[in-house]
Amino acid sequence: MDASKPEPARVRTTCPYCGVGCGVIATPRADGTLAVAGDPEHPANFGRLCSKGTALAETVSRDGRLLHPEVAGEPAGWDTALDLVARRFSDAIAEHGPESVAFYVSGQLLSEDYYVANKLMKGFIGSANIDTNSRLCMASSVAGHKRAFGTDTVPGCYEDLEEADLVVLVGSNLAWCHPVLFQRLSAARDTRGTKVVVIDPRRTATCAIADRHLAIAGGSDVALFNGLLAHLAASGAVDADFVARRTTGVRAALDVASALPLAEIARLTGLGVDAIAGFYDEFARTPRVVTVYSQGVNQSTAGTDKVNAIINCHLATGRIGKPGMGPFSVTGQPNAMGGREVGGLANMLAAHMEIGDSEHRRLVQAFWRSPRIADTPGLKAVDLFRAVGDGRIKALWIMGTNPAVSLPDVGAVRAALAACPFVVVSDVERHTDTTAYAHVLLPSASWGEKDGTVTNSERRISRQRAFLPPAGEARADWWQMAEVARRMGHAEAFAWTSSSQIFAEYAELTGLANGGARDLDLSALADMGTNAYQALAPVQWPVRAGATGPVKRFFADGRFYTPDGRARFVPTPYREPQTLAQPERGGEPGTLAQRTLVLNTGRIRDQWHTMTRTGRSARLASHLAEPFVEINAHDALVAGVAAADLVTLTGHAGRVVARAVVTDRVRRGSVFLPMHWSDRFASSALAGALLAGNVDAVSGQPELKHGAVRVERFAAGWYAFAAGYDKPAAPGTDYWAMACAERGWRMELASLASDDGHADVGPALVERLWPGTPEREVLSYIDRASGETRYAVFDGERLVALVFVGRSPVACDRAHVLNLLGQGFGCGPERLRVLAGRAGAGQLDAGPTVCACMGVGRNQILSAIAARRGHCTVDQVGAATGAGTNCGSCRPEIGAMIAAAACVEEVG
Ligand code: SF4
């Protein structure tokens, strides 16, 4: 290195994806590229990153960014756009009242953004119509915490997973959704022999470390945990002293819990009596037990009861607030917790103060010096968009989220957005499914450009720091809202000039008349000043002024935040999950009942939400490049579906076409569909189109785990795979799915047209995908045996596209084909070889990518395993192939492949 050149500045910041909240060291280089590494000093990850965090540098490109404000689709200055937003919101409020406007915000916002949005809506507009996409993520945990503890507190910390003897994971695919926490748990299991129980309808990657997997019927968790509570009481595992002195309501909860005999629990859960009894015994005899739960618990019409059924078991045993013990909700989003803290949900006031508490309202209004204060809860996400749809909401501001994809009953959401008189969207992307509905677009600063704080699942506040200049005219979300507030006549209350000033005000509010009455207290940080804010190290709350030492856990002292200071048992009667609204069944063919499968939706390892950011990374796309549905082999047989077929799922008010993955990972009678694909990446893959929008009555969180779908084979006349150096145009075929690749783009296609002789499809398809390049040279080949046709497109010597068309799903080596793009091929034989679609003799077809970091495919890993006759470790596979040696996110998949190979070897 040239010693005369200064070292690039390293900036400590926080990953913008999941609720683990990993510390990241970002180093922007002079050539415009970015280096990203895990922060070894951050207490959430100690230097680890998962595949998504590792690929962050690939997602900061400015392609596709929203660079300037737009009004009615035309570029506009900030003043013009902000004046219009302020005027339209003010006009709606003047004409129709404060309840006629709403904000729909996001767990991607920083706490400072959230604080300003909440203050503007609840204190100055005077409505509580501010809700967040975190409603879809963990609202049931919030409601369950408040019912049990009197406040929304996660009692424990990540160390508890490392100090427990038993970790129960309920509705949590930790390996894919919170990978670094999974790695911490795996490491602890290796060293101390932690037992792991996974309770999940699917055999997910997390099961790679499970000693026991209970493949529970979707929606039956309450029955299982009610049975556990009854077992704890019957087996003498109850901490009678703790229950008597520190809790109320145990009798009523036990009466309800005892109503279900074991045989009935087995029937409802679909589990064997022995499996249930084994789990109950293990829980009862293990003092150090942590129960981790996530979206599989929360995203349910019984979500809040599920949370309380779990908490009841920890209260009964007194296993809460102590090392290695406690219920532990892990949040999906990077700042879902921060949003809960400032009051970014429609049923909260601010800083863990309550809308329904007149003294809290008085305190907050006086602190804000606001002209009014919301005194009733606002509309929660699903209801909010229904209110947009029926005309009650006249002006809507959406920030940092994509509800036109992510909400259930998404067709109705889109219709509502289309009909809304005034929609503002603040986003970093120009083209999302939601920006299409905006009257005003405001460019927001992205990760790396914005500055503030986030709070992770263990209540740890970390800084997100700016290390890149804003793209175009992008500005912080808080700045946009403050400017609108000023234009609405509230200049004095929104006069901040930096995020540190906002944080100071928020921290002061948390300490207001607190004195230990509220758990959330950041008062020690209120006066720290800008320099200390800039340097702020990750810190867990509470951070009370005058207090000494950190507080890792709550409730060890047995004091809760209820009026009597005791925790509350909550009776949780089992209820059948709601799937479809009944009317949707009417008029369907008589076979529907036999063909209706339970729809479970969720996340995959390498994508985030609606792919607006992770969809930019070829490395991440290489893992699973098209929408897929996991279907049990029995159900596939009944529906006439074979592996790699396309299937149509018909649900509440729409249909999805996805690739069938026939597997025993899902229970008979259910299917799993990822939630990520939007109209930008696939022809029809919106999971939200299949879901009815039923919500939990307490939390308002929508059911995303228990829909009902009919599954049919998509009777394709032809299938195709296309790879192109340039981004293809959307082809208008019945099915397509697109993803970026290292050297270009990849696309899967299919058509229902049976008379569309596939031999003629290729040239027309090339023209549709990459129109208007007449000078290109097209080489074609027809495989008479299979009927497959192949086309290679050259620009001079350079290969710019390859298209394979067949009557069955195309079986070429995609990694090999994608690798050829952009290369030069001079002579005839060389050119013909590219049409083979796979590597030459003696060269291994890498197969679908398993390790995104090191680019290692399934076949390469299987080959390494076979070389050791199935008897090897993940580390040995890593040494042979490189797979699993960087971020480690693929290690569970490699472990599962080794286990499967060992099984085959033994059987053989
Ligand atoms: Fe980011 Fe992965 Fe850490 Fe989650 S686990 S915060 S996605 S690096």
Q: Counting Cβ atoms within 10 Å, is residue 415 exposed (0-12), middle (13-18) or buried (19+)?
A: middle
For ligand 1, what atom is nearest to the CA of residue 179?
5
Q: Report whether residue 800 contacts ligand 1, using a CB cutoff of 6 Å.
A: no
Confidence at residue 907, expressed as pLDDT on a 0 to 100 scale: 45
Q: How far apart are CA 228 and CA 496, in angstroms?
A: 52
Mutate to test the pocket of ligand 1, among 22, 59, 457 (most ligand atoms within 8 A of CB): 22
- Residue 16: CB within 6 Å of ligand 1? no
- Residue 21 CB less than 6 A away from ligand 1: yes
Lowest mean pLDDT among 280-284, 333-337, 424-428, 777-781: 333-337
**CA 719 from centre of chain:** 31
Q: How far is the CA of 699 from the centre of ligand 1 (A)?
A: 26
Q: Are residues 419 and 391 in contact, defined by beta-carbon separation less than 8 angstroms?
A: yes
Cβ 148 under 6 angstroms from ligand 1:
no
d(CA 180, CA 48): 7
Please tell me the number of Cα atoms within 13 Å of 480 on its side-chain side: 32
Measured from the CA of 21, which atom of ligand 1 is nearest?
A: 6
Task: Please give the structure tokens belonging to residue 882.
Answer: 């490189």
Note the pLDDT of residue 230: 98
Cβ contact 755:717 at 8 Å: yes
Q: Which of 15, 39, 456 best tests ligand 1's pocket when mutated (most atoms within 8 Å of CB)?
A: 15
Decide: 361 and 375 in contact? Cβ < 8 Å.
yes
**How does strand 777-783 pair with strand 744-751?**
unpaired
Pocket perturbation via mutation, ligand 1, pick of 25, 45, 330 by most ligand atoms within 8 A of CB? 45
Cβ(56) – ligand 1 distance below 6 Å? no
Is the pLDDT at 242 greater than 70, yes or no? yes
pLDDT at 667: 92
Distances in Å between the Cα of 674 and the Cα atoms of 180, 423, 610, 687 are 21, 28, 10, 7
**Looking at residues 447-463, what average pLDDT do you find?**
96
Top pLDDT among 777 and 588 is at 777
Any atom of ligand 1 within 6 Å of the Cβ of 15: yes
The pLDDT, as a whole number, for residue 842 is 64
**What is the model's pLDDT at position 758?**
54
- Pull the structure tokens for residue 906: 């033994």
- Quickly tell me which residue has 């006549």 as its tokens: 489
pLDDT score, position 835: 87
Convert the pLDDT of each residue in 519-568 to its tens digit: 999 999 999 999 999 999 999 999 999 887 788 999 988 999 999 999 99
Percentage of residues of the chain with pLDDT beyond 70: 95
For ligand 1, atom 3, name the residue with the nearest CA.
22
Please give the span between the terminal C-alpha atoms of the chain, in angstroms, as a whole number.
Answer: 56
- Per-residue pLDDT reduced to its tens digit, 835-877: 888 877 666 677 778 887 787 888 888 888 888 877 788 888 8
Residue 557, CB-side half-sphere exposure with 13 Å CA sphere:
7
Q: Is the pLDDT of residue 757 over 80?
A: no
Q: Quote the DSSP letter at residue 682.
A: B
Average pLDDT of span 692-716: 92
Q: Which parts of 15-52 are beta strand (E)?
A: 23-28, 34-38
| Mutate-to-test residue for ligand 1 from 17, 51, 206, 619, highest number of ligand atoms within 8 A of CB | 17
Q: Is the CB of residue 174 below 6 angstroms from any atom belonging to ligand 1?
A: no
pLDDT tens string 181-239: 999 999 999 999 999 999 999 999 999 999 999 999 999 999 999 999 999 999 999 99
Residue 784 pLDDT exceeds 80: no
Residue 67 near residue 61, CB atoms below 8 Å: no
Ligand 1 atom closest to the CA of 180, numbered from 1: 5
Q: Which helix (H) or strand (E) holds 94?
A: helix 78-96
Any ligand 1 atom below 6 A from CB of 179: yes
Looking at residue 580, what is its pLDDT?
58
For ligand 1, whether the C-beta of 330 sits within 6 Å is no
Strand, coil or helix: what is 382?
Answer: helix
Please state, rounded to an integer, the average pLDDT across all residues of the chain: 91
Beta strands in 39-93 (DSSP E): 70-71, 74-75
Alpha helices, H only, 774-813? none
CA angle 295, 296, 302 (to 5 degrees): 100
- The CB density around residue 871, as the number of other CB atoms within 10 Å, is 12
Which helix H or strand E contains 168, and what residues bound it? strand 166-170
- Ligand 1 atom closest to the Cα of residue 51 is 2
- What's the pLDDT band for 831 if we cut at 50, 70, 90? confident
Tell me the average pLDDT across 457-482.
97
Question: Which class for 160: exposed (0-12), middle (13-18), buried (19 or more C-beta within 10 A)?
Answer: buried
User: What pLDDT band is residue 593 in, cutting at 50, 70 and 90?
Assistant: low
Cα 58-63-68 angle, rounded to 5 deg: 130
CA atoms within 13 A on the CB side of 286: 24
Q: What is the pLDDT of residues 897-906, one digit of tens each?
A: 887 777 555 5
pTM score = 0.92
Lowest mean pLDDT segment, chosen from 38-52, 610-624, 637-651, 715-729: 610-624
User: How does DSSP assign 853-878, residue by residue?
Assistant: TTTEEHHHHHHHHHHTTT---HHHHH
The token pair that represents 310 in the structure block? 């779990």
Can you tell me the distance from the alpha carbon of 687 to that of 731, in angstroms, rounded to the nearest whole number? Answer: 22
pLDDT tens digits, one per residue of 350-392: 999 999 999 999 999 999 999 999 999 999 999 999 999 999 9
Largest CA distance in the chain: 86
Q: 661 φ, ψ to 5°?
A: -110, 100
Q: What is the spatial distance between Cα 296 and Cα 317, in angstroms, rounded to a whole number?
A: 24
The answer, yes or no, to whether residue 274 has pLDDT greater than 90, is yes
Ligand 1 center from residue 184 Cα (angstroms): 12
| Among candidate residues 148, 316, 158, the one with its CA nearest the CA of residue 228 | 316
Q: What is the pLDDT of residues 298-337, one digit of tens each?
A: 999 999 999 999 999 999 999 999 999 999 999 887 888 8
Going by alpha carbons, the residue nearest to atom 2 of ligand 1 is: 50
- The CA distance from 268 to 235, in Å, is 23
Residue 573: pLDDT band (50, 70, 90) is very high
Strands 777-783 and 788-795: antiparallel
**Is residue 74 over pLDDT 50?**
yes
Q: Is the CB of 18 within 6 Å of ligand 1?
A: yes
Ligand 1 and 538: CB distance under 6 A: no
Rounded to the nearest whole angstrom, what is the distance from the C-alpha of residue 283 to the centroid of ligand 1?
Answer: 29
Q: What is the pLDDT of residue 583?
A: 42
Residue (of 604, 601, 603, 580) closest to 592 by Cα position:
580
Mutate to test the pocket of ligand 1, among 161, 178, 330, 620 (most ligand atoms within 8 A of CB): 178
In the structure, what pLDDT confidence band is assigned to residue 590 with cuts at 50, 70 and 90? very low
